[in-house]
Structure 1
């Protein structure tokens, strides 16, 4: 055996450098730390830092810019920095560009933001070491359909969306699920968003006889619709999706009782208070780093540990299914009370 080959074999058998010199293994955090999505990236970083146990791991943050170019750059930087496992990625383009490089560097990824199910399918076809704690792309539609199915089955229900591509797609997915059960909405309609008045829509809802409405739009749009409906004597029960939590505007104010179905963790914090560490993407990032630290401590190959292990997190026990997804951020109902959304079992 040559001297070079002998040295190589000894290094492989010894394991990574961090195991030899006592330095904790490195977790790479991929987040948009510049550009229009920076605020979301900062949430991710805050949650990651909150979960870190410096005796078990160290963090290194990388700016992927939510772009394909940034994703490829970050993956190369992680490889060169000796990162053992990556957590983060909020944008599909960045994750998609990073995965081939991270695969070749045998760096597994815990995705906390990208919901596209097609990427999980590439775990099999392209051997991507990808695991996901973000909800799936169909989970919001399934949760809203389940809400209607379980709570409003005997009611006259309308489905209204804001005309955006996202709104139309979500509405179609909800309809498909309910129509497969033989359920049909009494009204299907749309509206122009960001209008100061929505009396025309309110009158169409009143004429249809509908009393319960799934409204897919922003918080301010929903507030205007409900306000104008009340002005013509129509008392509506309303449920919406995660868009209701994305906006912090308070005018016009939502009336009490509006329900948002979301996988959010931080919905209950009062707007007057400082944002919690777990705001937005901080919560899934915290869980991702908790899982990453446990996997690193197992002493087993990371891919094997992620595929077959169970992980105790601040959200409970997490397990990844055969598709690489962990159902640890379930959708639940939040009800608007006063100035914030509260989990329904708390308010």
Structure 2
């Protein structure tokens, strides 16, 4: 499952508490312990179809928090819905949390954030990629930190790579008509055209069809040998299989939604996709992996980003004043060393840099493209 597209497709901290402070602060910085027990909220879809996402967020965040004495946890189900978002936010206010981790679904986020902001509760949003959610951080004084890239950054990552490797090929851009697929395809097209690269064919296809031979023939007639698909793994696998069946050479590229479960089909070798790196391979992730040992969820999906969010939340609690108010402003323009690597939030609460990377598929595995490739 791709992180960050929950609203449209739904892509133990082993050291002691002082080690967290050392990990997340400069070596010369001294942090004070809170005078009373603090409370961190964990919110996500804990029921129904998207419950795996909520389970991953809860598992990762709780693993880090449970290593820190004096910090309690409150968990709520946002149901990935507007009503669930509002209800869960009220639960967080009543529980007296100082910071919340979660809300991957934009529907729940939209109703929860105003309630949390009015109560002065900081949100570290996990996985919410919708555009513009941090625009209110200054206008409405929303205490929001987004630990996720935006949809624009996904397009920037893949378009930046394709601009180099597709400069001398005939390519098409198609989408499945969904909000995610259409916006991604349009953003990629715009960025490629800014680099003087124009598709020979564009189209919106019918998604979830068992047969896309007609679409493949139209691509071939237009002279396209490469195609960017604003769609999901199932459609990409059908298009790839149909192209092979009628002997039409076709190289496919797409966003993180092309990364799907095995039942959605197999992507052909050399398919190009965006996604997140395998954070479990990072040296920084070792403490989290050890903490998650024995967990059925392991370190998959949102587990490690949620663990990192909890590290940041704990650090904020540790430097808070005696009144227990979470120091949102002091979290901006500050670097944090986390289990997924160094993170830094801009003044608007957005992450600096782009978490998305580009991969090619080889034997069913995602292989990072080399710099300059």
Match of 2:53 in 1: 40
How does 1:236-255 map onto structure 2 within 5 Å? 236-249=250-263, 251=265, 253-255=266-268
Match of 1:100 in 2: 114
Select 1:258's aligned residue among 264, 271, 285. 271
How does 1:25-174 map onto structure 2 within 5 Å? 25-52=38-65, 53-55=67-69, 57-174=71-188
Distance 2:307 2:299 in 1: 8
Question: What are the ranges of 5 or more consecutive residues in structure 2 without an aligned counterpart?
Answer: 1-32, 282-294
Q: Secondary structure at the match of 2:300?
A: coil
Match of 1:339 in 2: 364
**Deviations 1:212-234, CA, capped at 9 Å, x for gaps:** 22122222221221222123322
CA spacing shift, 1:115–1:218, aligned 2, 3 Å = closer
CA spacing shift, 1:72–1:220, aligned 2, 3 Å = closer
- CA shift, 1:29, in A, is 0.5
How does 1:188-207 map onto structure 2 within 5 Å? 188-207=202-221
State whether residues 265 and 283 of structure 1, in contact with CA within 8 Å, keep that contact through their aligned partners in structure 2.
no
Q: TM-score, normalised by structure 2?
A: 0.78
What is the alpha-carbon root mean square deviation over aligned residues?
Answer: 2.5
Match of 1:230 in 2: 244
Match of 1:303 in 2: 328
- CA shift, 1:265, in A, is 4.2
CA spacing shift, 1:199–1:70, aligned 2, 3 Å = closer
Instruction: Answer yes or no: is 1:221 the counterpart of 2:246.
Output: no
State whether residues 159 and 188 of structure 1, in contact with CA within 8 Å, keep that contact through their aligned partners in structure 2.
yes
- CA shift, 1:83, in A, is 1.0
State whether residues 71 and 94 of structure 1, in contact with CA within 8 Å, keep that contact through their aligned partners in structure 2.
yes
- CA shift, 1:291, in A, is 1.1
- CA shift, 1:121, in A, is 0.8
**Deviations 1:268-294, CA, capped at 9 Å, x for gaps:** 9xxxxx975332222321221121112
Q: TM-score, normalised by structure 1?
A: 0.83
Equivalenced residues, count: 320
State whether residues 125 and 148 of structure 2, in contact with CA within 8 Å, keep that contact through their aligned partners in structure 1.
yes
State whether residues 46 and 278 of structure 1, in contact with CA within 8 Å, keep that contact through their aligned partners in structure 2.
no
**Deviations 1:113-163, CA, capped at 9 Å, x for gaps:** 222232211111111111111111312222221121122122221112223
Q: Which one scores higher on RCO, CA 8 angstroms, separation ≥ 6? A: 2
Distance 1:267 1:248 in 2: 21
Q: Which stretches of structure 1, 4 residues or longer, exceed 4 Å deviation after superposition?
A: 264-268
- CA shift, 1:266, in A, is 7.1
Distance 2:301 2:221 in 1: 39
Match of 2:29 in 1: none
Distance 1:163 1:130 in 2: 31
CA spacing shift, 1:148–1:339, aligned 2, 3 Å = closer
